Structure 1
Amino acid sequence: MFSGAETSTATVARQKDSLGCLSNQLHKDLELHTGEFTFYRKCRHHEKTSEVVTPASNRGFLIGVSLTAGHHRRIISGNRSASHDFEKDSVYIRNFEEDYRADLHGAFDFVLVELSRAFIANVCYERTGKAIEGFSSPSGQKDPIFGHLAQVLALTLDCQSEASPLFVEQLGMTIGTHLIDRYGNAPAQSNRKGPRLSSLHETRAKDMLLAKAEGNVSLGEIANACNLSRSYFIRAFRETTHRTPHQWLLERRIDRARELLRHSDSSLSDIAIACGFSDQSHFTRTFSQLVGTPPGTWRRQ
């Protein structure tokens, strides 16, 4: 379920949100909930100082990525404290199992992803067969990969009506996987090959991806149809096809589009809709990225 609020006008708001921020001080406060992830965007324009406090819980972990430069925070742990300056693409990680207290100084614009402990455990087990012991603390450290993913997530949160469940789930999976690989305190991964889908499950998964208009089928539905967990299915699909489900589906749409461009006189906008793209602009952008030329140029050639 998606919920969002632009707080530039005076509204009656809850004093503390689920991350401990003062909601009535936020100029942008967006949340997007899925089965295993919660995505946030928290933005404040003014230069005030405020305090964030959350008690320990079993909610899991939070990764935050700064979209802008200039934010400063002091994180307090017991009798110790550490100060961090956040530039664009700087990250921090919170473990909800620990009490958290921080003084926030200045304006900020963060996108954040909350991941459940069950998700972390399942991914670690299916990737390496072993659990991680937690995450290293990169507070204030720049991470270009998270920076790029944060830009995509920010656009997704701002334009929620255009985001497909499949894309959102895949984005969460990508963020979670990079978090584990880059910052997880885990044993070295083995070189054994990952799981593969049976031919029956591969066919079933591909049929379900193609069956629903605009790809609006969740990975959970496909995994259930194959009697697999969602994270196991994603890994097995990638091992079998060398593509994520979203990448595979985009390539099939482009294959269909090339057939229509080659053998029909349909307009680009009609082909875009017929192939499951939201509009001609989305179609042209994706076609250009995968094929190397815009669809109009490709058709003429």
Structure 2
Amino acid sequence: MARPAGRADSLGCSADRLHGSQELSAGDLVFYRKQAGEAAISHVETPASGRGFLVGVSMKEGHRRRLLKGARSSLHDFDNNAIYVRDFAEDYRADLHGSFDFLLIEVPRIFVARMNDERSGREVRDMACGAGLHDPILAHLAQAVAPVLEQPQLASPLFLEQLGIAIGTRLYEHYGQAVPERQARRTGLSKGHEVLAKDMLLSQGDEPATIADIAKACRVSRSYFMQAFRESTGTTPHQWLIKQRVAQACRLLRETGLPLADIAADCGFSDQSHFGRVFARAEGMAPGKWRRHAHR
């Protein structure tokens, strides 16, 4: 098939032939979702650059691509959740066969440098590249990104930041190529830092505290804070915060006659609909029904 005509996007895809294209930044990482029908694209290519690395997670089966490198080529099949990792520092050319749906993660080199600064056990220079690989952990994290890309306005900034850190950490630890230099030692947060972190999470100012804000206040790296918070509380910061908000909502439902919209606002939910969804997942029933049961 002939190479696609028309304007190519930043990843080499012919933008006018994609039937789905989304993009969202989360800290250092950039997420994309690219979807195409059976005959939408036959060829992509990008020249070498210093952008870093690109990780693709296939969201459906049936895609095949032939990677072209000089006079050599290699053919790779992508089942659902199969992944690839490539380095932007190399020219990329590929012939695509069949429809596809990929969740893509752009990892800039500044992210790798910052992870090196935050770690005490490794210094990563590159990432192991490959195609058609299987990584159920990374695939699971990618599945969590997909609905956020569809409706980014509904995503919690704390959840999105946390998810970006989790994905970045998986990439760094599993694909990062380095020689270990010293052993990292992890512990939970000190009592004072745990109290500080919880107070900052519960604060409802104009701009809610981010993981980076809290880690800085505790004088630790973001990745260390995430691990230490989990060790101290048994849960992630986002999960802990949701639990506190639901507990506060239960108290207000039981002890006051406030309308549900007011309770949603008082407890830090974005709106009554968001409050209802989160509360129902946590308590197994809608807030109004829970209130009626509590007053029996």
- SS of the equivalent of 2:140 reads helix
6, 10, 21: which one aligns with 1:18: 10
What are the superposed Cα offsets for residues 229-284 of structure 1, whole Å, 9 maximum, x if unpaired?
A: 44444344344444322122112212212222332234545433332223445434
> Structure 1 residues 128 and 138 mapped into 2: Cα distance closer, same or farther (>3 Å)?
farther
Q: Name the structure 1 match of 2:27.
A: 35
Q: Secondary structure at the match of 2:127?
A: coil
- The answer for the alignment partner of 2:122 in structure 1 is 130
The count of aligned residue pairs is 289
Q: Where does residue 103 of structure 2 map in the other structure?
A: 111
1:295 Cα deviation (Å)? Answer: 4.8
SS at match of 1:134: strand
Deviations 1:41-95, CA, capped at 9 Å, x for gaps? 1111241443222222222222111122222111123332211122221211111
Per-residue Cα deviation, 1:194-248 (whole angstroms, up to 9, x for no partner): 1554555443332222112698433333344445544444344344444322122
Match of 1:66 among 52, 58, 62: 58
- Give yes or no for the alignment of 1:146 onto 2:138: yes
User: 1:177 aligned to 160, 169, 186, which one?
Assistant: 169
Residue type at the aligned position of 2:19: H
Note if contact 2:87-2:129 (Cα within 8 Å) is conserved in structure 1: no
Distance (Å, rounded) in 1 between the aligned partners of 2:67 and 2:44: 9
Distance 1:194 1:58 in 2: 33
Shift of 1:16: 2.0
CA distance change for structure 1 residues 252 and 99 in 2, over 3 Å: closer, same or farther?
A: same
Supply the RMSD in Å over aligned alpha carbons. Answer: 3.2
Greater radius of gyration (CA): 2
Taking the aligned partners of 1:78 and 1:51, their CA distance within structure 2 comes to: 15
TM-superposed CA distance for 1:286, in Å, is 3.1
SS at match of 2:80: coil
Question: Share of identical aligned residues, percent?
Answer: 49
Q: 257-266 or 283-292: which moved more?
A: 283-292
Q: CA deviation at 1:37?
A: 1.0
Please name the residue that 2:47 is paired with.
55
> In structure 1, the residue corresponding to 2:124 is in which secondary structure?
coil
Partner of 1:79: 71
Partner of 1:168: 160
TM-score under structure 1 length normalisation: 0.80
2:103 & 2:44 partners in 1: Cα distance? Answer: 16
TM-score of the aligned structures, taking structure 2 as reference length = 0.81
Give the aligned partner of residue 253 of structure 2: 261
Aligned residue for 2:264, secondary structure, equals: helix
